[in-house]
Amino acid sequence: MHQWVWARDIVAAIAVGVGLFFLLTKVLKAKKQLTLWISAILGVASLVSFLSPDLAFNMAPTVFRLPMLAASAGIAVVFYFGLMLVIILLLDLIWWLATRKRSVTGPDKRGLDAQAGQIIGSATDDSPDSDGHDTGTQVITADVSDADQDTDSPSTDHDQPTHPTAELAPDIGDDTPALKPPRRARLHTVRLLTALALVLSLIITGYGFVKAQEPAVTQVNLTFPTLPSNFDGMTIALVADLHIGSMTRDSFLPMVVDQVNAAHPDLIVLAGDIADGYVKDLGPKLAPLKNLSAPYGVVVTTGNHEFFSNAGEWMDYYSSLGLRVLENNAILLQRGDQTVQILGINDRQGKGEWAPNLSLAVQRGGAPANTFTVLVAHEPVQAEDDRGQAAKVGVSLVLSGHTHGGQLWPLGYLELLAQPALSSVHEIDGVTSFTSRGVGTFRPPVRVGADPEIPIITLHSG
């Protein structure tokens, strides 16, 4: 496991612990000793959760599949719980600022200040009463006692405060909700919302886990004026991002293979990130790929994850299963006297001889000029690499995956910072591009707002 992976996950776990400690002590006002233990325990649990997918990738502990699966799902719980806590803290801050501003500049303060001024003024008024006595101070003590005693007449008891004005100021501020709303109400609300956030994060993760196990076949129709008429109605099954690993249940890939074959596509495309691990550990799990069947066969390209675990070994293994590997290469499809070209280039993670090379793929294809061309590239951004080279060499359609449709909403918005498209059909640098949400998952076995899919793309001649 790379050191940067450990460093990244340790930093994330520390952030979880520190964030929980702040929340519990400063916001929820919990006891510090209890808070310290809770933060430490949940921080360590988060670290285990963050590390589990990488441990599974490198160690392939198939025997620990269920514990690893549960631990990995914890990433989604931490993510959604943390996201909701940030929202709760922002709402609490807005509430505090609003009540604080009201206590300083609210409409009730002027009236209360005026009222206090009149009372204080009366305290210093030396005008005599109807009997000719100076009762200024006695009147003030009577008014103050009325708030605490049930009396009908002014009190002259020697226990009354001798400086009534000093006692009035705090009474006005403390007893008036308009100036200082009870802190307890806000604290109660935050505690209630925090408990609700934890429950919701568990529910969302459970929902996303179930959805991730149910890839669906989706239908996509694309029309091109340049598509040869003989190929009108041709279908391509796009299978991207399977991410078969030690945590994947044994029945998952056979289920996907059956779904693809049941759609009877003319061509099957595996667009990279097929495995998460090494051939020596996962080879038997990938063996069902040999059962894929289509008239034009099955083509495979590399994704970034192949390069994490020796892409050369995986390409050799796929070839042994009867799959056609396109490493900067091409195949030509014939219907009558008309031709369609399928190009496949390596992922950008490849270096040296493994680097993506579209020009080399076109050269190896050897198709005549103006041949309708489909490019299979793992990442949608590859459609605009090399200053729009795809459009220059006559590519009409690019098929990609990689994004998982964001996998966990709203992370897709961050993915768009690196990729020009998240899913579905887009035009990228003048070329029609279709990006699949993919079949599998990476790290948490959870999908929220990005259901897994197996697109069946039907090409129509315009």
Q: What is the pLDDT of residue 302?
A: 94
Phi and psi for 282 in degrees, rounded to 5? -110, 0
Q: Which long-range contacts (CB under 8 A, 24 or more apart) does 162-165 make?
A: 162/137, 164/123, 164/137, 164/140, 165/119, 165/120, 165/123, 165/140
Q: Which of 61, 375, 397, 112 is nearest to 248 (CA)?
A: 61
**Which string of DSSP letters, residue by residue, matches 236-274?**
EEEE----B-TTS-TTHHHHHHHHHHHT--SEEEEES--
Helices then strands (H, E): number in the chain? 13, 12
Residue 432, class by beta-carbon neighbours within 10 Å (0-12 exposed, 13-18 middle, 19+ buried)? middle
Express each pLDDT in 111-123 by its tens digit: 545 555 555 454 4
Find the Cα–Cα–Cα–Cα dihedral 393, 395, 399, 404, rounded to 10°: 60
- Residue 358: is its pLDDT beyond 70? yes
Express each pLDDT in 69-102 by its tens digit: 888 999 999 999 999 999 998 988 888 888 776 6
Q: What is the pLDDT of residue 155?
A: 43
Phi and psi for 101 in degrees, rounded to 5? -65, -40
pTM of this prediction? 0.79
Structure tokens, 385: 């690499």
Element (H, E) at 212: helix 183-212
Give mean pLDDT, residues 258-286.
Answer: 95
- Residue 209: is its pLDDT beyond 90? yes
Band (pLDDT 50/70/90 cuts) for residue 105 is low
Place of tokens 């519990």: 24
Band (pLDDT 50/70/90 cuts) for residue 212 is very high
422: left (phi over 0), alpha (psi -120 to 50) or beta: alpha
Give mean pLDDT, residues 163-182.
Answer: 41
Structure tokens, 338: 């008309």
- 3-state SS, residue 68: helix
Residue spans of alpha helices (H) in 128-182:
136-146, 164-174
- 62/347: higher pLDDT: 347
In the chain, pLDDT over 70 holds for what percent of residues? Answer: 80
Beta pairing, strands 329-335 & 338-344? antiparallel
In the sheet with 324-325, reading across from the earlier edge strand, the strands are: 216-224, 453-461, 235-239, 267-271, 298-301, 324-325
**33 Cα distance to chain centroid:** 32
CA–CA gap between residue 342 and residue 374 (Å, rounded): 5
Residue spans of alpha helices (H) in 321-411:
358-365, 385-392
Tell me the torsion sign for CA atoms 318, 323, 324, 328.
negative
Q: What is the pLDDT of residue 403?
A: 96
Express each pLDDT in 15-69 by its tens digit: 888 888 888 888 888 888 888 888 888 888 888 888 888 877 777 666 677 888 8
Q: Which of 445, 461, 411 is nearest to 52 (CA)?
A: 445
Phi and psi for 309 in degrees, rounded to 5? -145, 45
Number of Cα atoms under 13 Å in the Cβ half of residue 168: 22
The mean predicted confidence, pLDDT, of the chain is: 83
Q: Which amino acid, one-letter code, is at 405?
A: G
- Residue 316: is its pLDDT beyond 60? yes
CA–CA gap between residue 186 and residue 182 (Å, rounded): 7
In the chain, pLDDT over 90 holds for what percent of residues? Answer: 54
CA–CA gap between residue 101 and residue 199 (Å, rounded): 33
Residue 434 DSSP label: E
Q: What is the pLDDT of residue 38?
A: 86
Q: Which of 451, 44, 412, 383 is nearest to 209 (CA)?
A: 451
Are 197 and 85 in contact by the 8 Å Cβ rule? The answer is yes
Q: What is the pLDDT of residue 13?
A: 85
Are 437 and 456 in contact by the 8 Å Cβ rule? The answer is no
For residue 373, list its beta bridge partners. Answer: 341, 395
Q: Which of 223, 225, 243 is nearest to 234 (CA)?
A: 223
Cα–Cα–Cα angle for 449, 453, 458, rounded to 5 degrees: 130
Are 277 and 308 in contact by the 8 Å Cβ rule? The answer is no
Q: What is the pLDDT of residue 273?
A: 95
Give mean pLDDT, residues 371-395.
Answer: 88
Q: Which amino acid, one-letter code, is at 353?
A: E
